[in-house]
Structures are given as C-alpha cells and as structure tokens.
A = this chain, B = another copy of it.
Amino acid sequence: MRIATLALIGVGLIGGSIGLAARRRGVAGRVVGADRDAAVRDHAVAAGILDAACDDPAVAARQADFVVVCTPVDHIPQGILAAASACKAGAVLTDVGSTKAAIVAAVRGRLPAGVGFVGSHPLAGSEKHGPEHARADLFAGRLVVLTPTPESGAAPLAVVRGFWEALGARVRLMEATEHDRALALTSHLPHLLASALAGTLPPDLYELTATGFADTTRLASGNPALWTAIFGANRDGVLAALEVFGEGLARFRQALAAGDAAALNALLQRGKSVRDHLNNPP
C-alpha cells in the first residue's frame, strides 16, 4: 500500500494520528490537510503531521489520491462531498465517523463518476482531542469497521481496507445501520452513562471519589459538541440501547429492593464474566 498524496479533512486527534501513522509506516508519500482552525493547522505542520495545510477541503483534496474525512460527524457528509467534487478521477475517499448510516445515506448517489467512497469507523480514540494528542500507534491492533454499500464497488473497498491494514488495524465489514445499532451499545451508551453518572455528583462528594468513579466516568471528559452530534446522528440506536440498559438496571434494582442476595450475585457474576472475557479474549 503506497499512496502518493494523502489528504486529511479535519486534523484533530484522529486525523493527526492517521497522518503520523501513515508517515511512520511509509504508507503516504505526501500528507496534506485541511482544517478550519489555524492553530490546528500550524500545530499539524510544525509537529510533522502534515507537509502542507489549508482551510479548504477542496484545495487539499485536489492533490490527493486518498482522502480521509476526520471532522465531527455532523460535518462529515459536506466534507466528503466537497472533497469528492475536487478530486482527480480514481481517487478514493473514506471517513472516520462514529456513526455511519446518516453519512452513507447523505453521500449515496451524490459522488462524481470515477471517485470511490467507503465509510470507516476506527474503534480507537480518546477523551482527549486535538492533534497535540495524536499518536502514530493509535490504530495498531484496533478494529476498523467498514460499511460498503452495493454501489460502493470492489476496488474502492480494497483500497480502504488496504489503507487501514497498512496502519496496523484489523478490518470488519458491516452494514451501516447494523454498525450504528451495535455501536450504540458498545460506545455511545457507555459515554452517556459516564456523563450521567458524573453529572449526579455534588461538589461536596468530589473528595470521596476514588479510581472506581474516575474510570467509570472517564468518557465524560469527551468533547460535548462532538458527542451531541454523535447522539444526534444515532438517536434511534441510542434510545434502543438505553431501553436494553434500563431493563438490566431494573433487574439490579429489583434484586436490591427485594434483598435477594442470590439474584444480585448472579447479576454481578454475569457482568464479571463479560468483562473478564474482554480482558482475556480467547
């Protein structure tokens, strides 16, 4: 996998990490980027993430063979369409949005001929943001979900798959709405719970928290604007995940209220068995 010119539209934590990883692994000859924030552009060039930066996605995309749109999810469709309209024939685009169905639907049927697009979601990130937290190894060993459609074609899919694999990631294909339903449970719900839990804490109890509270609420430090957009783009999925979680929580409440130690122990055992499994996959 060797891309002559890689363009990043949005150079935050994820875009910056893609730039660093592509350089480190020799995947891209040249890396250019577009970001609306001048401080981000300056940092990305100074830190060696980008060879050149501008504020216009179309200008960055014009030179590129491969484009990754790394903006907040609510700006991704316009980023893809702006970049696609400027690309040379044969260019391939992807994005890194945490939701996929709305993006895939917004782009479908609106790409110029000869330009390919397959949506991506790298399951990697951080509650931090900005290119100053970018890491060249952010994708190593991580899963990237790709959401091709019947129209997206085999050649662009092979390019997008090859790109992520060249950054050290594993790839799995899913249908976009299936992705969104699954990630509502594995990513969006945990964020919501972390935030709701942090929000219940009155200041006089801050001192009485320890590592357990800190870990359980770590995600709450994430960027509210980014997450408002993610929740907005996957509203039905998150509401369904909340419903499932609410049923599980009701079982705990019932066992507690009834003083049913055996039922409580079984529920805790069920949670432990799932969690231990994640620590030690077979």
Contacts and interface: CB of A to CB of B under 8 A. Distances in A.
Interface string A225-250: 10110011001001101101110110
A280 to B, nearest CB: 10
Contact of A256 (B125, B187, B238, B249): B238
**Copies of this chain, whole number:** 2
Given A217-B190, A268-B228, A182 B198 contact: no
Interface of A: 123-126, 142-143, 145, 172, 182-183, 185-187, 189-201, 205-222, 224-225, 227-228, 231-232, 235, 238-239, 241-242, 244-246, 248-249, 251-253, 256-257, 259, 261, 264-265, 267-272, 274-279, 281
A200 B212 contact: no
Contacts of A195: 252, 267-268, 270-272
A259 B272 contact: no
B124 A210 contact: yes
A219 B182 CA distance: 22
B216 A277 contact: no
A224 B185 contact: no
A224 B265 contact: yes
Contact of A212 (B143, B172, B219, B274): B219
Nearest to A221: B275
A224 B269 contact: yes
Contact of A275 (B189, B210, B218, B235): B218
Q: List the 8 closest pairs (A to B, CB-CB), nearest first.
A: A195-B271, A224-B268, A220-B271, A198-B271, A220-B275, A190-B216, A123-B210, A198-B274
A213 B190 contact: yes
